[in-house]
């Protein structure tokens, strides 16, 4: 298998680093996410990921997220839209976690939540707070946020957040198991096909929702 | 002196509660903020705060913030636009804290940062993270966020955040000295003058910036 979206920058809190090094399930979770983000190629059928850099903000970002999620759901059996109990039952507000999986090994379970940021910087702050709440309440054992790095985001939809923009606040997650991943294109080329914006050109599919999960 | 904007809801983390109860300077900071937010009246010349409730989103919110800031700056000598060293010199990105004051008593100093939220919920998350970063880095000893409660925000500019919307995440600030204050109108009346949006009708004034502060 070939992987070509680059993982350019990673920040792990001390606890996350320790877990990913020494805990088999957390290591597996991290590797599944890395493999899924790296699996994107562009244009379709290529064997590397090349972004059109003819103009600022020219490409869409949703298809990147979609590729990553398809692999997480279909290859690795992650689920979409996992509500946190604290938000759903206690606070009665706030949306679910984007992607979620429970890793099991005998009696050990590790619950990992992931958000792939395609909104603006403020919305990235909200995702971070939501995941921190899940960690504080011990509904999650590890949290991950995926974002394009600045160099790539420059050619994606206007105001899409980037790794460097949220970076000053990563340390607010110290004391919790949190990983921030910044991905980048493999190559830049002004003649390559532009990534469509929104859901244009994406095949329809049913996402694998947590709520439909059969135990 | 009469005060009429109501302080409807308050959340203090345990540490903030302790400081406001037992530390003279933090108590003073809290009281100055409460007095300043309560000092708003509407319409001008009235002696209570009445909001026009003829229609959703009909009133502006900026004049409320302005009233509060004028009192903080002119009566209590708070400063505007205090940059955090961690953002300015180390991370080289991110804006300053809205309002800031250093309280002194002999050798004791307490540095308090405040943000009055007039943006949407995502922007409130960003303010909270910025203040948490200041607390984590020990550039602030206490942080405060002011927001309208839902009942009032309903009649203010569309998508202005409200206390209840950020409330699920207040507990992420536990372990730090953080106070969240939700204010409300004293009365609702569909025939009272509408609060203008933006800066319309507000007198021009020079704000008291931290950067111009003379020691």
CB contact under 8 A, A129 and B91: no
Which pLDDT value is given to residue B215? 58
Query: Which chain A residue shows the shortest CA-CA distance from B84?
Result: A168
Give the relative orientation of helices A24-38 and A14-22 as an angle to the nearest 10 degrees.
Answer: 100
- B40 has a pLDDT exceeding 50: yes
CB contact under 8 A, B129 and A91: no
B94: left (phi over 0), alpha (psi -120 to 50) or beta: left
- B54 has a pLDDT exceeding 70: yes
Which pLDDT value is given to residue B62? 85
Question: What is d(CA B123, CA B121) in angstroms, rounded to the nearest whole number?
Answer: 5
Which pLDDT value is given to residue A1? 43
For residue range A134-172, list pLDDT tens digits in order.
Answer: 999 999 999 999 999 999 999 999 889 999 999 999 999
Q: Residue A159 is encoded by which pair of tokens?
A: 């105001």
Regions of chain A short of the pLDDT cut 50: 1-2
Residue B117 annotated as catalytic: yes
B25 and B142 Cβ atoms separated by less than 8 Å: no
Q: Which residues of B lie closer than 8 Å to A, measured between beta carbons? A: 86-87, 91, 93-94, 119-123, 125-126, 128-130, 132-133, 136, 164-165, 167-169, 171-172, 174
Q: What are phi and psi of A146, to 5 degrees?
A: -105, 130
Q: Residue A167 is encoded by which pair of tokens?
A: 């970076």
Question: What is the overall mean pLDDT for chain B?
Answer: 91
For residue range B91-120, list pLDDT tens digits in order.
Answer: 888 889 999 999 999 999 999 999 999 888
B172 and B13 Cβ atoms separated by less than 8 Å: no
Which pLDDT value is given to residue B1? 43
For residue range B163-177, list pLDDT tens digits in order.
Answer: 999 999 999 999 999
Percentage of chain B lying above the pLDDT 90 cut = 70
């Amino acid at each position: 298998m070939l992987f070509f979206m680059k993982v350019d920058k990673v920040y792990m809190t001390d606890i996350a680093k320790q877990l990913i090094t020494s805990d088999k399930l957390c290591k597996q979770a991290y590797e599944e996410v890395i493999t899924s983000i790296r699996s994107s190629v562009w244009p379709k059928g290529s064997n590397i990921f090349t972004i059109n850099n003819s103009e600022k903000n020219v490409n869409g970002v949703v298809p990147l997220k979609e590729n990553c999620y398809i692999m997480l759901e279909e290859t690795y059996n992650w689920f979409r839209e996992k509500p946190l109990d604290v938000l759903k039952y206690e606070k009665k507000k706030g949306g679910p976690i984007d992607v979620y999986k429970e890793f099991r090994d005998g009696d050990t379970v590790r619950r990992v939540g992931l958000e792939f940021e395609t909104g603006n910087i403020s919305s990235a702050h909200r995702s971070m707070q939501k995941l921190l709440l899940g960690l504080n309440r011990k509904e999650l054992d590890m949290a991950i946020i995926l974002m394009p790095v600045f160099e790539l985001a420059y050619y994606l939809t206007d105001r899409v957040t980037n790794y460097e923009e949220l970076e000053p606040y990563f340390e607010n997650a110290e004391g919790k198991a949190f990983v921030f991943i910044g991905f980048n294109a493999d190559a830049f080329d002004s003649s390559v096909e532009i990534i469509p914006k929104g859901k244009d050109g994406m095949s329809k599919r049913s996402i694998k929702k947590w709520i439909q999960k059969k135990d």
